[in-house]
Structure 1
């Protein structure tokens, strides 16, 4: 994982996104354990609170489960079908991005192309 301290994207968001990308690529899968907060913070040279915040956000999204004294474990199975509740939540989270893109002049075709490009980049990373 690589954290860019000069990015406009908050560090915890970068970390959260990279963990989810690793799941999409198959680098992490159901049952895998993430490094401890302390270990990952040391490896990335970031504050432990940054890693902790990333882990808790992933837990709130149903991606991982944090078990005291055992650590954080991947609980999402990328091959299973998404629940209606999670689909609704994702739609709510995705809407502001779509609205911003359209407000900046993107049309539907460009949005489709952008999504396709993002998916391709995630899988090839």
Structure 2
């Protein structure tokens, strides 16, 4: 999996890394058991500080999407967490509020949501 980050973006780099990994899992590019590059290797590849990668990996670990061990490093391992649904709904509310604040109407928002979900389903089919 190739991680693209925009070093000029307002979105923090660790968040971009986290988001790309989550998108990779959802799209089927990353499956349970797939290894990710070491924090140092990914930092070198992206030209960033390894602590930035470590922060992204730790966030993914806390979210139940990565297992990190000394032996195997960072490996995709989806573990259902009890707090996921509540946290996800809160983030969704914020994303929808941003769409409304920027003038997108309900039909447009729902069309984008359906298109995105369909794209993930097509990859898994």
Distance 1:114 1:40, change over 3 A: same
Q: Residue by residue, what CA displacement relative to the aligned partner does 1:28-74 show, whole Å, maximum 9, x if unpaired?
A: 10111111101111111111011001101111111112113431111
**TM-score normalised by the chain length of structure 2:** 0.81
Aligned 8 A contact 2:57 2:66 in 1: yes
- Structure 2 regions of 5+ residues with no counterpart? none
For 1:38, the equivalent position in structure 2 comes to 40
Which of 36, 53, 56 is residue 55 of structure 2 equivalent to? 53
> In terms of mean alpha carbon deviation, does 112-121 or 13-22 score higher?
112-121
Q: Residue by residue, what CA displacement relative to the aligned partner does 1:74-111 show, whole Å, maximum 9, x if unpaired?
A: 1117xxxx666322220012111111222332222111
Count of residue correspondences? 120
**TM-score normalised by the chain length of structure 1:** 0.81
CA RMSD of aligned residues (A): 2.3
For 2:75, the equivalent position in structure 1 comes to 73
Aligned 8 A contact 2:33 2:77 in 1: yes
